[in-house]
Amino acid sequence: MKWILTAGFVAALGCGSASADLILTMQSKDLTVDPPRVEVEKIYLTADKLKLEPARAAAEEAGKKEAEGGKGEAAEAEHGENREETVIFRADRNLIWTIDPHSKSYLVFDRAYVQQLSGQMSEAMKEIQEQLAKLPEEQRKMVEQHMKEGMAPGAGPAKQPLFEMKNSGVKQTIGGQPCVRYDSYFEGEKSSEIWVAKSWDKATPEALQVFKKMAVFYRDLLAGSPMMQNVAGKAWGGLDQIDGVPVLIREYSGDTVTSEKKLETVEDRKLDPSTFEVPGGFTEKKLPGTEQMRGER
């Protein structure tokens, strides 16, 4: 899920006790295409709530600012209704909503959902293993090798992915702020580098405690599900070990940088509580079998 990468970028931002309503703007570059695709992402936050808007093209964002003339977050939310899913984290309710405006539906991501999805993945792997047992030995070994190489996450005996975050000690000035580089490793391979400043405008670790809550939410939620950690691990592993505000993150595939995200602006504005609610008239999507596992949200 694309939003996990954005959430992973900001998960390391927050710790402390002070809080404020803020709007963060990030520039995202997809370096796998030529020329690189440049997009703008918005993050709205309070002490215990967070909203991630889907990325929009940089040219579209510039046109929106000119047309709106500073109307506020309600206008920005309306502008997002024709784009991909929005994500809302509610620390006060211990859940995440992913909202699809096209189908006017939303998904509740909580412990019940993870347990159900993990169970379905386990059942699917069980069926695959039963089918493999019917194959000739040579063909079976070839398929099993492909699965071990990552074609089927979670195949074989479940294991906890290995995350590691290292302070490289390398320093660089970004946006006028002195930064230090952290290198993130997933199962021994470098997955990203994160440039961290002590603060960035109004974005201080103390002001962004909701990100810390979101990181803890994911860590606790996925702790008992190695299969789900294989899905989200690269985005989340080790991010709570960073001391400061990440202002630039580069994602790697092998030795190649595939994307960049840079913190551009921070706006201090009182946010309406409706910013962090599912829009009226939207229907909850459920995995088969989850209907009895939770009450109405």
Each residue's pLDDT tens digit, 4-37: 445 555 554 444 334 579 999 999 999 999 999 9
Residue 75 pLDDT? 39
Residue located via tokens 């936050």: 45
Residue 31 pLDDT? 96
Residue 230 pLDDT? 54
Q: 74-78, 85-89, 96-100: which has the minimum mean pLDDT? A: 74-78
Residue located via tokens 């079998």: 289
Tell me how far the alpha carbon of residue 182 is from its chain's centroid: 18
Pick the CATH number of 2-113+160-285 from 1.10.4190.10, 2.50.20.10, 3.40.50.1580, 2.60.40.10: 2.50.20.10
Q: 28-37, 132-141, 236-245: which has the minimum mean pLDDT? A: 236-245
Q: What is the pTM of this model?
A: 0.67
Q: Average of pLDDT values for 287-291? A: 55
Q: Which token pair is 82?
A: 């024709």
Q: Average of pLDDT values for 101-106? A: 93
Residue 194 pLDDT? 92
Residue 215 pLDDT? 74
Q: Find out whether 14 and 211 touch, Cβ atoms under 8 Å.
A: yes
Write 98-107 long-range contacts (CB < 8 A, 24+).
98/1, 98/3, 99/278, 99/279, 99/282, 100/285, 101/279, 104/279, 104/281, 104/282, 104/283, 105/282, 105/283, 105/284, 105/285, 106/278, 106/282, 106/283, 106/284, 106/285, 107/284, 107/285
The domain limits of the chain are 2-113+160-285
Q: Average of pLDDT values for 116-144? A: 73
Residue 259 pLDDT? 95
**Is the predicted pLDDT of residue 122 greater than 50, yes or no?**
yes
| Mean pLDDT rounded to a whole number for the chain | 74
pLDDT level of residue 109 (50, 70, 90 thresholds): confident
Q: Average of pLDDT values for 162-173? A: 88
Residue with the larger pLDDT of the pair 65 and 93 = 93
